[in-house]
């Protein structure tokens, strides 16, 4: 695994192990009409850029959260990080192995067994024809491993009964199904798990149970998480570091305390202003302005400038790069000037 030197206030520098490194990650999709239609109608190709030049790192045993509106590219990044989608540009390195380059077949096979994913819809990701025992043990059985007693042990670890191994997915509630998905993800003894909005299909009380379970498993098993969500209240308590995505671009990155106390990017400020607050009864919050631009034809310069009340001519012409601003990384030309919430 790659290492870097990290400094902490009041302490000597120490080596920090990086589990996952994402560098210049970009993904484009060809959404053009078929070739013959384009010839007859004289239409150009249409290319949708879902992710554009995204870079971040996830230290071992930590949780990195990606947040943003629907269509911002969160799930596309998650799929590229587990190998379900190849990147158009850039690279993903997990445990020192570059998934997007010409690594050896043995190295790729070894690292892929250490990566798992928990999907948004627990029922859609479970085979309705299989018993729970077969669903949970499939990742191990596919590699010829020993599955004796594995399903029962994992079911009890995620708060279910060992007797549930003989049931089918339709016999469980939504929260229980997500626990089954977590048990399946744990069966191959992974180091890194991508959680793609794992609680968005659940009610609030069940969400809390699943999130507490994931926190306990992280502490007990030393797991590393990429947590994808649109719920800021969830990531505030789950993440060690938060990245904010807008139109496939990373616009701000900081630890939760810094991000929620002093958001530097206008888009982050807009998201936080619109989020529910326990003490916000009767408050008047400004509604989010405008909609996400067309990713096939994104605006020049800063992608957020059509919706930004602080945009200047430079924002309309020059794309801002992520840079360090008061404890966070921010892609905003006016980050130092703007008043924070």
Angle between helix 132-141 and 150-157 (nearest 10): 110
Q: What average pLDDT is seen over the chain?
A: 87
Which is more confidently placed, 284 or 208?
Answer: 208
Which is more confidently placed, 99 or 13?
Answer: 99
pLDDT at position 13 is 34
DSSP 173: -
> What is this structure's pTM?
0.87
| Contact (Cβ atoms closer than 8 angstroms) between residue 36 and residue 111 | no
pLDDT at position 339 is 55
Digit-coded pLDDT (tens) for 104-143: 788 888 888 899 999 988 888 899 999 999 999 999 998 8
| Contact (Cβ atoms closer than 8 angstroms) between residue 144 and residue 184 | no
| Contact (Cβ atoms closer than 8 angstroms) between residue 29 and residue 248 | no
Question: What number of residues does the chain have?
Answer: 341
Beta strands in the chain (DSSP E): 2-6, 14-30, 47-59, 63-67, 89-94, 97-98, 115-118, 192-196, 224-228, 241-246, 249-254, 323-325, 328-330
pLDDT band at 2 (very low <50, low <70, confident <90, very high): very low
pLDDT at position 102 is 67
Does the structure show a pLDDT above 90 at 47? yes
Residue 309 burial (10 A CB sphere; 0-12, 13-18, 19+): exposed
> 52 in helix, strand or coil?
strand
> 265 in helix, strand or coil?
coil
List helix spans (H) across 82-203: 105-112, 132-141, 150-157, 174-186
Does the structure show a pLDDT above 70 at 3? no
């Amino acid at each position: 695994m790659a290492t870097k030197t990290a400094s902490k206030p009041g302490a000597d520098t120490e080596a920090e192990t990086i589990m996952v490194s994402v560098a210049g990650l970009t993904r484009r999709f060809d959404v053009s009409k078929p070739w013959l239609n384009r010839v007859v109608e004289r239409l150009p190709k249409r290319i949708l850029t879902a992710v554009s030049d995204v870079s971040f790192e996830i230290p071992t045993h930590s949780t990195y959260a990606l947040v943003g509106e629907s269509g911002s590219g969160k799930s596309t990044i998650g799929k590229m990080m587990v190998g379900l989608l190849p990147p158009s540009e850039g690279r993903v390195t997990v445990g020192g192995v570059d998934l997007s380059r010409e690594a050896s077949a043995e190295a790729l096979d070894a690292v892929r067994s250490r990566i798992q994913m928990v999907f948004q819809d627990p029922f859609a990701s479970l085979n309705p024809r299989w018993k729970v025992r077969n669903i949970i043990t499939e990742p191990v059985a596919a590699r010829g491993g020993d599955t004796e007693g594995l399903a029962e042990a994992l079911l009890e670890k995620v708060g279910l009964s060992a007797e549930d191994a003989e049931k089918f997915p339709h016999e469980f509630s939504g929260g229980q199904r997500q626990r089954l998905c977590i048990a399946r993800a744990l069966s191959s003894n992974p180091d890194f798990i991508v959680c793609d909005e794992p609680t968005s299909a659940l009610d609030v009380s069940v969400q809390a149970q699943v999130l507490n379970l994931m926190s306990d498993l992280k502490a007990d098993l030393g797991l590393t998480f990429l947590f994808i969500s649109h719920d800021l209240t969830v990531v505030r308590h789950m993440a060690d570091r938060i990245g904010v995505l807008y139109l496939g671009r990373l616009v701000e990155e900081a630890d939760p305390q810094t991000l929620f106390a002093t958001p530097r990017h206008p888009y982050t400020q807009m998201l936080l202003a619109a989020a529910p607050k326990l003490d916000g009864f009767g408050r008047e919050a400004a509604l989010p302005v405008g909609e996400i631009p067309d990713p096939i034809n994104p605006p020049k310069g800063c992608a957020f400038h059509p919706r930004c009340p602080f945009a200047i001519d430079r924002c309309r012409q020059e794309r801002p790069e992520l840079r360090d601003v008061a404890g966070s990384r921010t892609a905003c030309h006016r980050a130092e000037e703007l008043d924070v919430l």
